[in-house]
Structure 1
């Protein structure tokens, strides 16, 4: 019930506007690396020094105007320049709705191609984040369209969707770099597993499918059972450590992240920044309602 409540709140545009105006004091600092690219760079440098690589994400979803979409696109290019200038061990993640997908596909693709050209020039890999189901088909189609020109482009497959395995198979000809996740949106039982057990079993099958295909795989999870499954799979099939990585979110299980690095695994931290933090933050609470305690601490902390 709590999970559904927080997922509902994450899609509330009025609350998003209020939170953006109020600031990130309500506990979001635990999961968000500040409001600006400068603050994000400082955070990434510290993570890099600990042996952690990152992917940086300028927070924002569902751009409603051309001006807003252009602003996000400019910020993505600014982040790419910062990665190159500071020689950060980082990639870029972005959402197509923040580039204007809900206004027109042509607008979003135009912005995306501009960003990818800058990324290619600077040697920075880019991942298209997956969003809610109404945008799923479009996202995969745009990924396929751009992947043929920009080889360093990756995208995300969500394990709670029944169709995920078939989508991986359909992408096989592109030799895709995929981030596999459980999924963090509120979806209908008609398209997604309604329970954790079903999602977890499907997640394991997707990891096996992608890794045994020989394509690069990012296993994005905080679940020790999924991590252990991946370790055993790569050991049993002699899969090189260079073919996969683990990924976790900034602010969640930082000590476990460092442990995986010490064990010799590549560990990438998803580092978001910006003032448009509310939707992202609510989904983090939905994934683990105990995180709500950090909201209360943020309210009462001087």
Structure 2
């Protein structure tokens, strides 16, 4: 019960626009610096280089929430393009993750699509891949529709499916062959569209992972749950699924020892590295996911004092 209340509390805070605006003035305090790699493209490239040196590959995400003006969406597009150019110039092993709302989805759908095409053109020229992060359920169907439209022209774009959604396995079937990141889900959703029980979500998550792998589709398994990771390893060995067909993904700043261990075992281990001034919503969702993250954040905060 306490864990559920804690999760709901931080998810509520993550959607507070006043606090989000204030957070930009605070800077990376309250422990956020442990999980957000600075605010500039240069700062995140430095972090990626260090992670690469440890055998870890990366995906970087310029954080953004509540984008309601064209100028903000245009700026987000430019930062995404600058990030791809920086990845190419520095030679780091890294791709790009982004959110459609940050590129103007809530302003104008075509504006968002135009921004995506501009970004994907640069990604194609620099031989890179772009992952569209999945957001809350209100943007779910739009995201899948836009992905389908983009995939008609670009093969270097994929998205994310969330295992807590009732429609997860059905939607997965329609995305056969598309490189997907599979996650449990980090937003608070209605029981009408999402499972609420942790065991049921875990069960559905594993079923979706196996389903996508068995179709021969490239699969990114994004979890910090070592039990699920071990089950995936055993499943892939049993069905002779090559390591080149899947990867594990974890968030920057969490379970770093496990990340390095997985890489040493010869698996591709990708670290999701966020950066930018608009870190507040991301940070609150991380605190909501696990109660342990709260003490982790406070420890980081006081260690800077």
Please tell me the TM-score bracket, short chain as reference: over 0.9
What is the CA-CA distance between 1:91 and the residue it aligns to? 0.5
What is the CA-CA distance between 1:298 and the residue it aligns to? 4.8
- Counting only pairs closer than 5 Å after superposition, residues 67-146 of structure 1 correspond to structure 2 as 67-146=71-150
Q: Distance in 1 between matches of 2:37 and 2:218?
A: 27
Q: Distance in 1 between matches of 2:221 and 2:35?
A: 19
- Contact 1:180/1:217, CA 8 A, preserved across alignment: yes
What is the CA-CA distance between 1:297 and the residue it aligns to? 3.6
- Contact 2:14/2:285, CA 8 A, preserved across alignment: yes
Pairing partner for 1:189 from 164, 188, 191: 191
1:15 counterpart residue number: 19
What is the CA-CA distance between 1:293 and the residue it aligns to? 2.0
1:23-45: per-residue Cα shift (whole Å, max 9, x none)? 11111011100011111000000
- Contact 1:62/1:100, CA 8 A, preserved across alignment: no
What is the CA-CA distance between 1:285 and the residue it aligns to? 0.5
Pairing partner for 2:266 from 241, 264, 267: 264
- Contact 2:172/2:212, CA 8 A, preserved across alignment: yes
What is the CA-CA distance between 1:230 and the residue it aligns to? 0.5
What is the CA-CA distance between 1:62 and the residue it aligns to? 2.8
TM-align CA RMSD: 0.9
- Contact 2:36/2:252, CA 8 A, preserved across alignment: yes
Q: Distance in 2 between matches of 1:24 and 1:181?
A: 26
- Contact 2:17/2:66, CA 8 A, preserved across alignment: no
1:52 counterpart residue number: 56
Unaligned 5+ segments in structure 1 are: none
Unaligned 5+ segments in structure 2 are: none
- Contact 1:159/1:199, CA 8 A, preserved across alignment: yes
What is the CA-CA distance between 1:294 and the residue it aligns to? 3.7
Q: Distance in 2 between matches of 1:138 and 1:158?
A: 15
Q: Distance in 1 between matches of 2:245 and 2:121?
A: 25
> So what's the TM-score if we normalise by structure 1?
0.98
Q: Distance in 1 between matches of 2:48 and 2:218?
A: 23
